[in-house]
A and B are shown apart, each in its own frame.
Chain A
Amino acid sequence: DAMVIQNPRYQVTQFGKPVTLSCSQTLNHNVMYWYQQKSSQAPKLLFHYYDKDFNNEADTPDNFQSRRPNTSFCFLDIRSPGLGDAAMYLCATSRDGTGGSPLHFGNGTRLTVT
Chain B
Amino acid sequence: KNQVEQSPQSLIILEGKNCTLQCNYTVSPFSNLRWYKQDTGRGPVSLTIMTFSENTKSNGRYTATLDADTKQSSLHITASQLSDSASYICVVSSGGSYIPTFGRGTSLIVHP
Contact = CB atoms under 8 A, between A and B. Distances in A.
Report the interface size class on chain A. Answer: 20 to 34
Given A42-B89, A107-B42, A99 B104 contact: no
Given A99-B32, A99-B94, A105 B44 contact: yes
Contacts of B4: 42
A105 B99 contact: no
B73 interface: no
A107 B41 CA distance: 7
Interface residues of B, number: 26
Contacts of A105: 43-45
A113 interface: no
Interface of B: 4, 9, 31-32, 34, 36, 41-46, 49, 89, 91, 93-95, 98-100, 102-105, 107
What are the 9 tightest A-B residue pairs by CB atom distance, in nearest-first order?
A99-B93, A105-B43, A99-B31, A97-B98, A42-B102, A102-B46, A99-B32, A42-B104, A107-B43
Interface of A: 4, 6, 31, 40-43, 45, 48, 50, 55, 90, 92, 94, 97-100, 102-103, 105-108, 110
